[in-house]
Amino acid sequence: MLMNKLHETDPEIYETIVNEVNRIENGVELIPSENFVSKSVMQAMSSVFTNKYSEGYPKKRYYGGQEHVDVMEQLAIDRAKELFSAEHANVHPYSGSPANHAVFFALMELGDKFMDMNLGSGGHLTHGSPVNFSGKHYRNVPYFVDRETELLDMDSIRKIAEREKPKMIISSLTAYPRELPFKEFCEICKDVDAYSLADINHIAGLVVGGVHPSPCSDTDVTTTTTHKSLRGPRGAIILSKVEDRLHDKYHPDSKKNLAQLIDSAVFPGLQGGPHNHTIAGKAVAFKEAMQPEFKEYARQIVKNAKALADELMSLRIKLVTDGTDNHLMLIDLRPSGLSGRGKQVQNALDRAGITVNKNSVPYDESSPFNPSGIRLGTPAVTSRGMKESEMQVIAQCIALVIKDYKDKAQQVMIKEDIAELVSGFPLYPDLTVLE
């Protein structure tokens, strides 16, 4: 890990790394967008590939000395295609937001209309938020979860699509705890001549693990981050069909197929040189996700999420949609008399050694800075080897904090209990203070 050299060169940065390792080792990570990569992924990311500029794509570069980069990137491409059963893969995007930006850039003109899940219903910033490029440069028509069931109403979504005739419809989630009906979204897209974009950044690991339906056989374009449940480095990929089924309607003057539109949008459209060290880490993560044990890992993520959700509900903690089908759940604090107290509860859980994030809940009247919800997920704790029994203990600790989030003395005691619980699940034991 080259930590000895770092300790000599920059002891201040070294200390922050050690402190972060200690925080991780002694607490519980429940933010659903976070996970822990393998040492192999970290080693690939710290390799000499970080030194190399490689504008362009394999065999079509602008700089010399690319023979080894080409092999590495082609491995990443081939593995991504095999892993997701995709026709085409672009492994360059720096992260999820740039990947989504590239899809807009490839398929849309400024001011074009698209449909997306409203942020408050569980959607993402890059799917139409007025403060984001997607909301500033394009016209978004949101769809919402049902106010009573808090579930997607596909009949309502179809009616909106037929009325609005968007150029693209996005199916995605960041805080929706149920399966996404990708086939139904694609059918609607075909009926209204809209591109279908599935953003599976949260559930990619569940998709390749076989515990969530995959969009890739039907959807025009699929984006995903490579971290989160896929357990790779911070980055993203874009998967797509090769042929553009809407070419004659939307791109009659272009000679590029859909795959070429995507590639040219990424480079030279929005990005310069790819981050080769990260692509190497992606390739390693894709190979790891192809192994049989990854399917068991994905199954355990869902088992753990259900166990955590069931225990919380048994302790009278309200969950949005009353449960989960995937890796995450959303606590609604309003029935506990804590409307707009998500930030305070998040901070209280931090003091108890439990890391979560505050989050809006459907039809939340409080601001996103002080929302009425808490978002939880199980990918990271599952990576440490925890199972259902540990989820029950964690749920009991969370419930205690929620019921009296101002009791700091209790939080100190809970933190000690959490430290004891996680001591049996070491993650990076050799990344501690050097002797």
Q: For residue 181, what are its two tokens?
A: 């009906």
Instruction: Decide if 225 is catalytic.
Output: yes
Q: For residue 301, what pLDDT is reported?
A: 98
3-state secondary structure the chain: CCHHHHHHHCHHHHHHHHHHHHHHHHCEECCCCCCCCCHHHHHHHCCHHHHCCCCEECCEECCCCCHHHHHHHHHHHHHHHHHHCCCEEECCCCCHHHHHHHHHHHHCCCCCEEEEECHHHCCCHHHCCCCCHHHHHCEEEEECECCCCCCECHHHHHHHHHHHCCCEEEEECCCCCCCCCHHHHHHHHHHCCCEEEEECCCCHHHHHCCCCCCCCCCCCEEEEECCHHHCCCCCEEEEECCCCCCHHHHCCCCCCCHHHHHHHHHHHHHCCCCCHHHHHHHHHHHHHHCCHHHHHHHHHHHHHHHHHHHHHHHCCCCEHHHCCCCCEEEEECHHHCCCCCHHHHHHHHHHCCEECEEECCCCCCCCCCCCCEEEEECHHHHHCCCCHHHHHHHHHHHHHHHHCCCCHHHHHHHHHHHHHHHCCCCCCCCCCCCC
Q: For residue 291, what pLDDT is reported?
A: 97
Q: For residue 125, what pLDDT is reported?
A: 79
Residue 405 CA to residue 399 CA, distance in Å, equals 10
pTM (predicted TM-score): 0.95
Q: For residue 433, what are its two tokens?
A: 């203070």
**Averaged pLDDT, 300-329:** 98
Which of the residues 222, 223, 225, 324 is marked catalytic? 225
Residue 320 CA to residue 364 CA, distance in Å, equals 12
Residue 285 CA to residue 204 CA, distance in Å, equals 12
Residue 391 CA to residue 162 CA, distance in Å, equals 44
Mean pLDDT computed over every residue of the chain: 95
Which of the residues 61, 79, 81, 228 is marked catalytic? 228
The separation between CA 363 and the C-alpha centre of its own chain, rounded to angstroms, equals 23
Residue 129 CA to residue 137 CA, distance in Å, equals 11
Which of the residues 29, 116, 199, 218 is marked catalytic? 199
Residues sharing a CB contact under 8 Å with residue 48, sequence separation 6 or more, in sequence order: none
Instruction: Point out which residues pair with 91 in neighbouring strands.
Output: none
Position 321 pLDDT exceeds 50: yes
Which strand ranges, in their side-by-side order, compose the sheet holding 357-359? 328-332, 373-377, 357-359
Position 2 pLDDT exceeds 70: no
Residue 41 CA to residue 326 CA, distance in Å, equals 25
User: Which tens digits make up the pLDDT trace of 6-43?
Assistant: 888 999 999 999 999 999 999 999 999 999 999 999 99
With a pLDDT cut of 90, the percent of the chain lying above it is 91
- Do residues 342 and 101 make contact, with C-beta atoms less than 8 angstroms apart? no
Q: What is the largest CA-CA distance in the chain?
A: 68
- Cα–Cα distances (Å) from 19 to 22, 321, 343, 435, in that order, read 5, 37, 23, 15
**Averaged pLDDT, 403-417:** 97
Position 107 pLDDT exceeds 50: yes
Position 431 pLDDT exceeds 80: no
- Cα–Cα distances (Å) from 376 to 133, 222, 244, 331, in that order, read 27, 24, 38, 8
**Averaged pLDDT, 50-79:** 97
Position 432 pLDDT exceeds 70: no
Q: For residue 161, what pLDDT is reported?
A: 98
Position 120 pLDDT exceeds 90: no
Best CA proximity match to 32, nearest among 416, 364, 373: 373
Domains of the chain: 44-289 (3.40.640.10), 292-422 (3.90.1150.10)
Residue 203 CA to residue 327 CA, distance in Å, equals 8
- Do residues 190 and 216 make contact, with C-beta atoms less than 8 angstroms apart? no
Q: For residue 35, what are its two tokens?
A: 């996970």
Instruction: Decide if 375 is catalytic.
Output: no
Position 435 pLDDT exceeds 60: no
Instruction: Decide if 404 is catalytic.
Output: no
- Do residues 54 and 66 make contact, with C-beta atoms less than 8 angstroms apart? yes
Count of residues making up the chain: 435
Position 225 pLDDT exceeds 90: yes
Residue 178 CA to residue 124 CA, distance in Å, equals 15
Q: How confident is the model at residue 381 (pLDDT cuts 50, 70, 90)?
A: very high
Q: For residue 31, what are its two tokens?
A: 């933010």
Position 97 pLDDT exceeds 60: yes
Q: For residue 60, what are its two tokens?
A: 């079509």
Instruction: Decide if 53 is catalytic.
Output: yes
Instruction: Decide if 187 is catalytic.
Output: no
Which of the residues 34, 53, 112, 310 is marked catalytic? 53
Instruction: Point out which residues pair with 28 in neighbouring strands.
Output: 354
Which of the residues 113, 139, 234, 303 is marked catalytic? 234
**Averaged pLDDT, 406-410:** 97
